[in-house]
């Protein structure tokens, strides 16, 4: 091989090696680390975010206005009977009854969601559960109420709700628990 060809070949190998080294320094955005990150995409306006955590404003359509009425009626303290039916890990069925207290508050007056606490007492009046949750009222036709606890998610539907009485069926989304409840407004 002639010396000029050897020098050309060495120059070409060095150039490729340097380009390869540069590529290793490209950041996750596919740009040079010295460049600014590309702007983050904004969420579309119609994306309401997490219905449990982000305040969901009521709108002006019929379904949303009806869901807002449900959310406003839920706000307050409720107390009454809770009958629980659940399956354990071995798929054995169990039933239990409790006195249940629900405390529910909207994030703001015009929102379809909020936070709450469930407190259950056994037949002797001993507190057996006190657990926080977030909730939202779905704008679907029947306005199911969704409750999200730390380790479970429940959906209340069907139900009856007026200013003084709240009764219905609450099911765990995993299908392992179904509760029947009948509560009266405390405040």
In CATH, what number is assigned to the domain containing residue 138? 2.40.128.20
Task: Please give the residue range of the domain that contains residue 25.
Answer: 1-40
Determine the Cα–Cα distance for residues 81 and 97; give it in Å rounded to an integer.
7
Q: What does DSSP assign to residue 111?
A: B
Helix (H, G, I), strand (E, B) or coil at 164: coil
Specify the number of domains making up the chain: 2
87 and 135 share one domain = yes
User: Would you give per-residue pLDDT tens digits along the chain (187 residues)?
Assistant: 555 554 444 444 444 444 444 334 333 333 344 444 444 444 333 444 565 555 555 556 788 888 899 999 999 999 999 999 999 989 999 999 999 999 999 999 889 999 999 999 999 999 999 999 999 999 887 889 999 999 999 999 999 999 999 999 999 999 999 999 999 999 8
Which two structure tokens, joined as six digits, stand for 60?
Answer: 């002006």
Torsional sign, CA 180, 75, 145, 87 = negative
151 and 106 share one domain = yes
**Residue keyed to tokens 């955590």:** 53
88 and 150 share one domain = yes
pTM: 0.68
In-domain check, residue 52 = no
In-domain check, residue 29 = yes
Q: Which positions ≥6 away from 108 have C-beta within 8 Å?
A: 55
């Amino acid at each position: 091989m002639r010396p000029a060809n050897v020098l050309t070949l060495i120059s070409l190998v060095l150039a490729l090696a340097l380009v390869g080294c540069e590529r290793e320094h490209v950041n996750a955005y596919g740009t040079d680390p010295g460049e600014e990150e590309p702007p983050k995409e904004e969420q579309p306006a119609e994306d309401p975010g997490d219905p449990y955590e982000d305040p969901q404003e009521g709108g002006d359509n019929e379904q949303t206005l009806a869901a807002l009425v449900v959310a406003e009626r839920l706000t307050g303290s409720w107390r009454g009977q809770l009958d629980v039916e659940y399956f354990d890990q071995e798929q054995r069925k169990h039933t239990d009854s409790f006195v249940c207290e629900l405390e529910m508050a909207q994030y703001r007056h015009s929102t379809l969601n909020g936070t709450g606490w469930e407190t259950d007492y056994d037949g002797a009046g001993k507190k057996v559960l006190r657990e926080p949750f977030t909730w939202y009222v779905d704008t679907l036709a029947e306005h199911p109420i969704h409750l999200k606890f730390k380790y479970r998610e429940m959906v209340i539907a069907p139900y009856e709700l007026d200013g003084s009485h709240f009764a219905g069926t609450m099911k765990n989304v995993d299908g392992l628990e179904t509760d029947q409840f009948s509560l009266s407004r405390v405040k």
